[in-house]
Structure 1
Amino acid sequence: MSGRAGADGKPRRTLPWGELPRPQWPADSASPSGLIVIDKPAGVTSHDVVGAVRRLADTRKVGHAGTLDPMATGVLCIGVGRATKLLQYVTGTDKEYTATIRFGIETTSDDADGQITARRGVGDLPEDLCEIRQRLTQAMGELRGDIAQVPSAVSAVKVAGRRSYDLVRAGEGVELEARTVHVESFDMVSAPRQTTAEGVAVIDADVRVVCGAGTYVRALARDMGNRLGCGAHLTALRRVRVGPWRSDDAYEIPTLVKLIAGGGALPLVSIDDLCRDLFPGIEIDVTEAAALRHGQFIPGQQRTAVPVAGPAAAFCQGNVVALVSRRGGLLKPDLLLQP
């Protein structure tokens, strides 16, 4: 669906939240910084959501922590202002999804947005369901833990500098390399059910997945279908959690529109609280805080909260100053968060 033409002459897509208000901040107010958790609707891209938050926050400094496909819904963590510096750490947290896998049909994208490439069908007879459920349970077990996963061809993975999805849309063949991902849990949440679609018998299974960064749930569905020999794709996908942030914490864009139109502010997770959620914390004094701001190391021998690998958040009087990590018996500043 399209609307008025943009600056490039191409028609703008009409987004479900319509025209967005621009906030009226006092001239002397600081630009907002923090994390906001959005409940992304189906049919829009993650970049569409970033664009909406840019408008509502009145700043270009906005980014997201992990793409959700247009078909998918759920938790999309958006960084605003200085919080964009921390998005790489949000992206690295584990994710939880609910999804519906349809066995018996394959698509180009491994989800319902792709073109159908095969209608194999599966489970024509009622007695087939018991056997298939046993095979599903076995296949899920094989796809838990650290696994080698080939990303879906229609993905943002780059091949020779070009996005894989651009190559697929151009009709070019794509061969992506497998990468190691971690699947903490992969389980059915209800009994699989027989139905028909596209003129063939299919089986739908509702699943729950908890996985590490870089895991494609679409690829899990594809690999399940390959193991059963019938093909499969996702018909629904919802991200219900990113790290400590759940869908219950998420805001829909229309809710934020009403808030801003009424003169309110975006409900941002502060930089301080974001760091408390992501990292172990240590307390430093004013002198040490000044040293970190100047790029200097501070003593670290007695600070056992700082992990051997990975950063900790250094707080001074309740405010985060920097992310620090170990360098011998000292702590070095990795990322300055307070000017």
Structure 2
Amino acid sequence: MTEVEEVPADTGDYMIKPQSFTPAIDTSQWPLLLKNYDRLNVRTGHYTPISSGHSPLKRPLIDYIRYGVINLDKPSNPSSHEVVAWIKRILRVEKTGHSGTLDPKVTGNLIVCIDRATRLVKSQQGAGKEYVCVARLHSAVPDVAKVARALESLTGAVFQRPPLISAVKRQLRIRTIYQSKLLEYDADRHLVVFWVSCEAGTYIRTMCVHLGLLLGVGGHMQELRRVRSGILGENDNMVTMHDVMDAQWMYDNYKDESYLRRVIMPLEVILTSYKRLVVKDSAVNAICYGAKLMIPGLLRFENDIDVGSEVVLMTTKGEAIAVGIAEMTTSVMATCDHGVVAKIKRVVMDRDTYPRKWGLGPRASMKKKLIADGKLDKHGKPNEKTPVEWSRNVVLPTGGDAMIAGAAAAPEKVDVGAAVVEKVEAENGEVSKRKHKRDESNDSPAPVSTKKAKTKDVDTEEKVKSEKKEKKKKKDKDEDTEEVATPKSEKKKKKSKETGEDESAADKSEKKKKKKSKETDEAASAEKSEKKKKKDKKKKSKDSEDEE
């Protein structure tokens, strides 16, 4: 007897059970641009994934550094440019840039962008900044409330002239101070500690001078630290110069990537505040080459997008492709089936990271075939061998194979018309020749059709060339025969005749010139006499009026 194997009771757990709704995915913990991905509006979920590209956090180390950003705590004495140059040398990269200059003595947040991320430097330089400042007043202010009120009065749009220390043209400018808070006041040492949130390009040194003027005691800046630049602040993975050096040393000596990956962050960190547009994988490379994003390439989009607002174009893996400017609102994207969604402002991703997927449609593939066969030139423009259907942009009829075959088998009317035209031209050949002669006598060019002109030009050029060659040959032969036949005395006679003819022609031309000059002199004298007569008449009329 063979024993029957018992079927486990839990087989029902592996079955797909019917559900009334698709369960929602919790994407609140997903990284960077993929955070809350499920809350985006879905235009279509239908696309073909491509294996190219990488998730920002899992890029190979070389690409990870090239698309990287460092939130650096700038040390006190070197300038911002020096610090950035040091990082470039330590990491051995091609390019580095920073999010806005800090004075040498100022410390704090400095966003350093590496290689491809330097394309985002401009947007970071214009982002808002936050500072903590220590100002020294020149004499004591007993009332703390007075200091707080003076700080509050410095909010809003403020006139500022750059301080003497700065290397900028000292021109009056307007800067907005969004918010300011008094953190601490030391009456004994006359020190004020305050926090400021302001527009990019605000001079805190000038603000401290204004604070002293408002309090009536005078003041200057003692110490300054930048706490936030754009999105990134002190608590967002801020690192020192020592961290950067140690991380590179660890990789060089022990091949340990972990420290470098902690110090450097993907550039997508900077773009998390932008509205997102998710793009199909097949449209990514076209955007990298500068194409606009069209409706068919859009997968998902965010709420509250307005025309003209800045958006970030991203892949389904969470990579930033480019920063763009929206050409449609959210509601239009949801309802429209064609048109431009966004135009490109700055491309971040390298070209050919994803494969090319344009030029694969029926029209484009037919064009490539015609170019290969020589029926179009290398630029895709029509030539003599181009089919009539292509030059007239004939589109195949919609329907099955039978419809297309019927359209192809239909007689072409164009050829019949062309044959009729050729017959008419042959019959009226004599008439056209007569007309051409008349036009030549009238010195007015005869109207010629463009098709005839193209074919005739080639024939006429060849005929002219052959005639010129024959004439040259005849001249050479004639000269040779003359030299043999005529002696020197006859040649001299010919030359004398030619010179005599030239002299007679010169005399005639001089006589003509003299005649013309006489005629012009006579005309000028006649005009002068007429003018004198008119003047005399006017004088006589005036004299008669005076006598009356």
* Equivalent in the alignment of 1:223: 210
- Structure 1 residue 297: deviation in Å? 2.0
* Equivalent in the alignment of 1:308: 307
Larger RCO, structures 1/2 (Cα 8 Å, 6+ apart): 1
Note the 1:172-191 alignment, pairs <5 A.
176-191=170-185
* Equivalent in the alignment of 1:324: 324
Kindly provide the amino acid, as one letter, of the partner of residue 256 in structure 1. V
* Equivalent in the alignment of 1:297: 292
1:281 aligns with 2:276: yes
Q: Residue 249 of structure 2 is aligned with which of 255, 261, 266?
A: 261
302-311 vs 224-233, which deviates more? 302-311
Note the 1:190-209 alignment, pairs <5 A.
190-195=184-189, 203-209=190-196
- Structure 1 residue 237: deviation in Å? 0.7
Contact 1:64/1:87, CA 8 A, preserved across alignment: yes
1:214 aligns with 2:212: no
Gaps of 5+ in 1: 1-27, 105-121, 160-175, 196-202
The 3-state SS of whatever aligns with 1:136 is helix
* Equivalent in the alignment of 2:100: 66
- Structure 1 residue 280: deviation in Å? 1.6
Note the 1:73-112 alignment, pairs <5 A.
73-104=107-138
- Structure 1 residue 239: deviation in Å? 0.9
Structure 1 distance, partners of 2:153, 2:161, is 15
Q: Any idea what the Cα deviations from partners look like across 1:181-237, whole Å, max 9, x if unmatched?
A: 121211210233222xxxxxxx11111111121111111101111222332111111
Note the 1:112-191 alignment, pairs <5 A.
122-123=139-140, 128-130=141-143, 133-157=144-168, 159=169, 176-191=170-185
The 3-state SS of whatever aligns with 1:190 is strand
Task: Give the structure-2-normalised TM-score.
Answer: 0.45
The 3-state SS of whatever aligns with 1:189 is strand
- Structure 1 residue 295: deviation in Å? 2.1
Structure 2 distance, partners of 1:231, 1:84, is 41
* Equivalent in the alignment of 2:77: 43
Gaps of 5+ in 2: 1-60, 252-256, 329-338, 352-548
Q: Residue 226 of structure 2 is aligned with which of 218, 239, 246?
A: 239
Note the 1:26-41 alignment, pairs <5 A.
29-30=62-63, 32-41=66-75
Contact 1:129/1:194, CA 8 A, preserved across alignment: no
Kindly provide the amino acid, as one letter, of the partner of residue 215 in structure 1. T
Identity %: 24
Q: Residue 268 of structure 2 is aligned with which of 247, 268, 272?
A: 272
Structure 1 distance, partners of 2:89, 2:248, is 10
The 3-state SS of whatever aligns with 2:269 is helix
Structure 2 distance, partners of 1:209, 1:56, is 33
User: Higher helix share goes to which structure?
Assistant: 2
Is the alpha carbon distance of 1:255 and 1:294 closer, same or farther for their aligned partners in structure 2, counting shifts above 3 Å?
closer
Rg: which structure is higher? 2
The 3-state SS of whatever aligns with 1:140 is helix
User: Pairwise CA RMSD of aligned residues?
Assistant: 2.3
User: Higher strand share goes to which structure?
Assistant: 1
The 3-state SS of whatever aligns with 1:194 is coil
Kindly provide the amino acid, as one letter, of the partner of residue 164 in structure 2. A
- Structure 1 residue 308: deviation in Å? 3.0
The 3-state SS of whatever aligns with 2:270 is helix
Structure 2 distance, partners of 1:148, 1:309, is 29
The 3-state SS of whatever aligns with 2:207 is helix
Task: Give the structure-1-normalised TM-score.
Answer: 0.71
Is the alpha carbon distance of 1:216 and 1:34 closer, same or farther for their aligned partners in structure 2, counting shifts above 3 Å?
same
The 3-state SS of whatever aligns with 2:226 is strand
Contact 1:33/1:80, CA 8 A, preserved across alignment: yes
Kindly provide the amino acid, as one letter, of the partner of residue 140 in structure 1. L
The 3-state SS of whatever aligns with 1:137 is helix
Structure 2 distance, partners of 1:290, 1:62, is 25
Contact 1:75/1:247, CA 8 A, preserved across alignment: yes
Q: Any idea what the Cα deviations from partners look like across 1:225-257, whole Å, max 9, x if unmatched?
A: 122233211111111111221223211111221
- Structure 1 residue 325: deviation in Å? 0.8
Structure 2 distance, partners of 1:227, 1:29, is 54
